[in-house]
Amino acid sequence: MSEPEYDLIVRCGRVFCPETGLDGPGAVAVRGDKIAAVGKVDGTTRETLNFDNALLLPGLVDLHAHPDKDSSRYGVDPDVHFLPRGVTTVMSQGDAGANNWPRYRERVIEDSRSRVRLAINLSRPGETNPDRCYEKPGDVDPTACAESAIEGGSLIWGISVNTSEASCGEFDPREILKAGIEAGARSDRPLLFGSRLARDVPLAEQLAALRPGDVLTYCFNAKDENLVEAGRIRDCVREARDRGILFDIGHGMASFAFETAEVAIADGFLPDTISTDQYARHVGSDPQHDLPRTMSKLIAAGMEETDAFDRVTRRPAVILGLTGEIGTLSSGSCADLSILRFNENAAPLVDVEGQTRPGGCWEPVHTVRAGQHV
């Protein structure tokens, strides 16, 4: 008897790939850890999965979260808290710094089924300090940060810099951003940047300091210095986007407000990526905070479904420099698949301000990572 052509065929009522334009009923065939065929797939296979009333996307990509196992005060195990929820690739926002980067590589990046990348913290201890990442004068070290980023190669995407009051404490936020830009320039890495969010440092000033390719996260918050003013997107925000600054959601516990998102989306300003900022305090949340639910909130705020799908698959893959490997269902790409189902009767969608919106929610059904079931 001849060997089957494929190891796995997954058939769904809707298969969507923003890179190839596929959108409709179909299937994805897997051979080994790669996608072998997409669309109307025929052929012999070892296993078939059928999800008639579900959506198949490329494995979801969470550009800002806290994957860790035993060190960061924010960290959660990516294989437990992300992978079963459809997220096959996740980037850490600064869970490790120069002091503990080797441990992070060994314990998290190399020892997880999930694909993990790091935005290394400007602070040497990362998020291991008990209260904030910048606690002692020696914590801020752009030279050590840049050297670690270079040593990490493709595993370290960029530099994590946060100038919020909660992170900076007594440190001057302007000096923190200056040091972060220095580390980024020395290592040729972009920033994943959390802005001040308070009036002592205007948003316009911070945006002007950023470079093309830098990512501003927490973009739809409702704090004093958010993206919206007088019912529209601020001019400095549009100017920053025109210069190549990118904007990420970073929902978290304090950074996503429906009112801000709705004004921005109605004004034609969509986020570049949708991310969860999922961390330890979300463990056991009911309903569970995850990327499909965060994506559903953006849809409820006015984004087109297909635009939202793009911002959890193709677009973050491009930003991470992983085009062709993830974020796509094209033949030869990694067989990372997320199967979601829409639940019209899901628990209400709630933002960090306690505001709710109707509309149902996308929920995870099944995940395939590198051709293997999760």
Q: Which residue in 54, 51, 76, 58 sits closest to 66, CA to CA?
A: 76
Residue 137: predicted pLDDT:
85
Q: Which residue in 120, 99, 122 sits closest to 109, CA to CA?
A: 120
pLDDT digits (tens, 9 = 90+) for 143-182: 999 999 999 999 999 999 999 999 998 899 999 999 999 9
Say how many C-beta atoms besides its own lie within 10 A of residue 134's C-beta.
24
Say what angle helices 173-187 and 142-152 make with each other, to 10 degrees.
40
Average pLDDT, stretch 253-269?
98
Confidence of residue 1 (pLDDT cuts 50, 70, 90): low
Average pLDDT, stretch 271-285?
98
Token pair 């930003």 is found at 319
pLDDT digits (tens, 9 = 90+) for 299-349: 999 999 999 999 999 999 999 999 999 999 999 999 999 999 999 999 999
Domains of the chain plus CATH, in order, are 8-58+332-342+359-373 (2.30.40.10), 60-319 (3.20.20.140)
pLDDT digits (tens, 9 = 90+) for 58-85: 999 999 999 999 899 999 999 999 999 9
The tokens for 223 are 């704090």
E-strand stretches of the chain: 8-17, 22-31, 34-39, 48-58, 60-65, 87-93, 115-121, 156-162, 191-194, 215-217, 228-229, 232-233, 246-247, 337-343, 349-350, 356-357, 361-369, 372-373
Q: Is pLDDT at 23 greater than 80 in this prediction?
A: yes
Instruction: Read off φ and ψ for residue 85, nearest 5 degrees.
Output: -95, 15
Contact 16, 311 (CB under 8 A): no
pTM (global) more than 0.85 = yes
Q: Is pLDDT at 352 greater than 90 in this prediction?
A: yes
* Cα-to-chain-centroid distance, residue 238: 22
pLDDT digits (tens, 9 = 90+) for 182-241: 999 999 999 999 999 999 999 999 999 999 999 999 999 999 999 999 999 999 999 999
**CA-CA distance, 95 to 74, in Å (whole number)?**
7
**Mean of the per-residue pLDDT values for the chain?**
97
Residue 2: predicted pLDDT:
77
Instruction: Read off φ and ψ for residue 109, nearest 5 degrees.
Output: -65, -50
